[in-house]
Amino acid sequence: MNNLFHVIKDPVHGTMQFTSAEDSWVKPFIDSSNFQRLRHIKQLGMGDFIFPGAVHTRFNHCLGCSYIASQIAHKIGLADEERQLVMIACLLHDIGHGPFSHAFEGIFYDKLIKHEDWTPYFLMDYGTKDFFQLYNRLNPRTHLTEDKFRVIAEMIMHKPVIKGVLADIVSSQLDADRLDYLLRDSHFCGVRYGEFDFRWMLHCMAIVESKDGERLGITHKGIGVVEHYLMARRLMIRNIYHSQKKLALESLLVKLLENLAESLEFHTAYTTIRHTRLGKFLIAANRFNQVVENSKNTQEFKREFIEQNYSSYKELCDYDVFALIKQLAEVGDTSPCSEIAVRLQHRKMPKILRLDSVELHSVEFELQGFKSKYSHDFQDWQLMLIQTPHRSYSGEDDPILVVNEQGAVKPISEFSFMINAISDRLEHVAFLCVDNKIAEDKRVIALMKHLQATSVYS
């Protein structure tokens, strides 16, 4: 029995082999409806509107993440029960995502509710007596207990656990999540700059001693591949995750959902939408936004909203939103919802004006003045300023640790000039998103020329 393997053919990792024991550890979770829902949530939101191959899903990524966790666990010599915990945690780490992944979080005021906030509720669905009984019948030698599942949940939710090296596999700057999504997103987007030598990195991984106990690190032989990996991450952020047209389309999607949520309860054209699962959720989200905007007790309102709407949220996926876009695009009126839906349904791309972040305050001031002056001619969503600050590596909070030939452990920035240069550096990209319908208006052209002239592009 121990020599049997369950094989999953994967375009990124090739033949992913799981032992019969590993298969039994993860399969009850994979077969659950909550996890199967991830098949219908694309990994990169609206990324496939820009990179047509990017139709891979959170489901694909979570399987790959669990596989990488097993590979790391084998390499650093974790015991079976420890390997079981990290494989399950990596499998379930994205279970809380909503439609279009991170984009959907934008419908909430100040992005107060993120996918991580829903995750504990998904995990509670597994923490039942019936699920444990089913699971333990399939795993007589490695039972799942409440205490073990609590450790899994703590690793997913970035809480401290007794053995830090386990948590590092799930969430750190060398975690299985990043190692999979960089390779997977690069492959499906058809680009090469997200690639790095994963097999060599795996070979160089080791348990290292730190002031906080045992952590996941690398030997000195892995410095080069980590440099490659961090530069790959930086390039993927700038060119894929923060692709200007991708972010512009996702911002339009959020604007559509926000406008719809505000008008669902009284606009007669939306009567049928009002009674759908997504419609009811958006109405609840709009009420939540109105309450928390002027409230100091946001955490309590947030908890109540999640508890009351979890049953609807866990059924939502990309298909609900696509069906909504198609329906609104066919309404044919001049409301923001229908106008934006037409742009998304037919991929009518906005015009992009890239700006230097140094001048952002003056740009924001001038744009607001322009919108106020011509509020009767242009809608808010037709002129959007989008900012995307990012860090490629955080050396101060959670450094990648290297053990050298003498056994000394130091942060990798002390060995690498390149990593030291990018460590904790906040990079900015900002751009103006202009609806193509107004891009030829003389007033808009004058505004864009003025912004270009005053912006110092770096």
Closest to 181 in 3D by CA, of 43, 40, 89, 37: 43
386-412 pLDDT, tens digit per residue, is 998 899 999 888 899 999 999 999 999
| The model's pTM | 0.95
Angle (CA) 377 255 438, round 5°: 30
| Residue 268: per-residue pLDDT | 84
41-57 pLDDT, tens digit per residue, is 999 999 999 999 999 99
> HEC states along 324-355?
HHHHHHCCCCCCHHHHHHHHHHCCCCCEEEEE
Share of the chain above pLDDT 90, in %: 87
Task: Indicate whether 265 pLDDT > 90.
Answer: no
| Residue 113: per-residue pLDDT | 97
The continuous run of DSSP H or E covering 167 comes out as helix 164-170
418-442 pLDDT, tens digit per residue, is 999 999 999 888 999 999 999 999 9
| Residue 191: per-residue pLDDT | 97
- Is residue 219 within 8 Å of residue 402, measured between CB atoms? yes
Task: Indicate whether 284 pLDDT > 90.
Answer: yes
Band of residue 357 on the pLDDT scale cut at 50, 70, 90? low
Angle (CA) 393 399 405, round 5°: 120
Task: Indicate whether 356 pLDDT > 80.
Answer: no
Sorted by sequence, the CB contacts under 8 Å of residue 147 that are 6+ apart come out as none
Average pLDDT score over residue span 274-278: 94
159-181 pLDDT, tens digit per residue, is 989 899 999 999 999 999 999 99
184-221 pLDDT, tens digit per residue, is 999 999 999 999 999 999 999 999 999 889 999 999 99
Share of the chain above pLDDT 70, in %: 98
- Is residue 54 within 8 Å of residue 115, measured between CB atoms? no
Closest to 61 in 3D by CA, of 120, 102, 2, 112: 102
Where is average pLDDT lowest: 60-69, 352-361, 367-376?
Answer: 352-361
| Residue 457: per-residue pLDDT | 47
Handedness of CA 311, 323, 247, 58 (dihedral sign): positive
Per-chain mean pLDDT for the chain: 94
Task: Indicate whether 358 pLDDT > 80.
Answer: no
Report strand pairing: 213-219 vs 401-403. Answer: parallel
Task: Indicate whether 1 pLDDT > 60.
Answer: no
